[in-house]
Amino acid sequence: MNSPLALLSQLTPAQFLTEYWQKKPLLIRQAIPNFKGLLTPNELAGLSCEEDVQSRIIQQQNKKWQVKQGPFCAHDFTKLPEKDWTLLVQNVNHHLPEAAELLKKFNFIPHARLDDLMVSYAPDGIGIGPHFDSYDVFLLQGSGKRNWKISSQQDFNLNKDAPLKVITDFVAEQEWTLEAGDMLYLPPQFAHCGMAVGEDCMTYSIGFRAPKAQELIHEFLIYLQDNTSAEGLYADPELSLQQHPAEIGNLMVEKVKQILEKITWDKSDVGEFLGRYLTEPKPDVFFEPPRKIMVADFAKKLSKKPLLLNLKSQMLFQQNAFYINGESFAVPTPLIDCIQHLADQRFLDTVSLNRIEQQALANTLYEAYIAGYVNF
């Protein structure tokens, strides 16, 4: 895992993490040689017409920005002008196996940090304006060419009239034109502006989630609320007469403080919270359960076909605790290596397991299979 990677311009993953990750940009020529992309523009447009696909069309007309949310239909594209618009499709890895395979090249970053693969199409001379992201991103060029200008500026005055975060006073510090297979890594808060050059282009953006501290606190408090219990009632037998009946007295404040101090947590609680929170599907993600079969039939299938995580599934583990799509599940000790492999590689060769192992695996993953989280 720590040998030099062509994807990282022959840097080792450890070198990249030490020198570049969340620190400074990195331009990589021919990160994936001969990479032309995974989709044609028509296929991307077709994907944006699917009901369960998150997509946007961004237009600039008369110097004003407009954003239209998908799903779209074929007629929507016939009404678009020849230029002055771009199409962005989120979570392409949820719908395209080849996209999920592409993301495996970035396994040197923990899955817990991965957000999604977004694919954008832009006609010649078009982009979405200078903006910044609050997360790390790898910008991999597919078909065509895109010119990128970047800046480390901290002045983020935004166009208040725009429905997206367009920087008004962008001052470029570096500039490159990326061709098919080239890639640019940008840390969070780096301003950047990309524009198709000479022809239509498609860019593949591998984004990594960075939850806001306030969001983590909010969600953890909800977790504690759902997983904490306290006995007894508020009591104040020593209550004395107050001068002001409307005053919240020091005695009440102190007693409630003592009750709240009973709320405790440790690293295991944080690990459990993160396992559930980081695998929780986004609101627009739904799973289609397969035809229901018995556990014995599931075990038979495991003896004939390898097992895959559903493209929309997220599986993580923390020590010997496992989580899939916001739920925890128990794993027998003899199967821990197997399930870790499934989480890491999103694939498990179950055919090579013996019958006892296949039955144990069936018992462990049956509920996940019935929910549509894993398939063959």
pTM value is 0.92
Each residue's pLDDT, cut to its tens digit, for the chain (376 residues) gives 678 888 998 899 999 999 999 999 999 999 999 899 999 999 999 999 999 999 999 998 877 889 999 999 999 999 998 888 999 999 999 999 999 999 999 999 999 999 999 999 999 999 989 998 899 999 999 999 999 999 999 888 888 877 888 898 999 999 999 999 999 999 999 999 999 999 999 999 999 999 999 999 999 999 999 999 888 999 999 999 999 999 999 999 999 999 999 999 999 999 999 999 999 999 989 999 999 999 999 999 999 999 999 999 999 999 999 999 999 999 999 999 999 999 999 999 999 999 999 999 999 999 999 999 999 9
Residue-level pLDDT at 124: 93
Phi, psi angles (nearest 5°) of residue 14: -65, -40
Residue-level pLDDT at 357: 92
For the domain 6-208, what is the CATH code? 2.60.120.650
Domain ranges of the chain: 6-208, 213-264, 295-375
Residue-level pLDDT at 1: 64
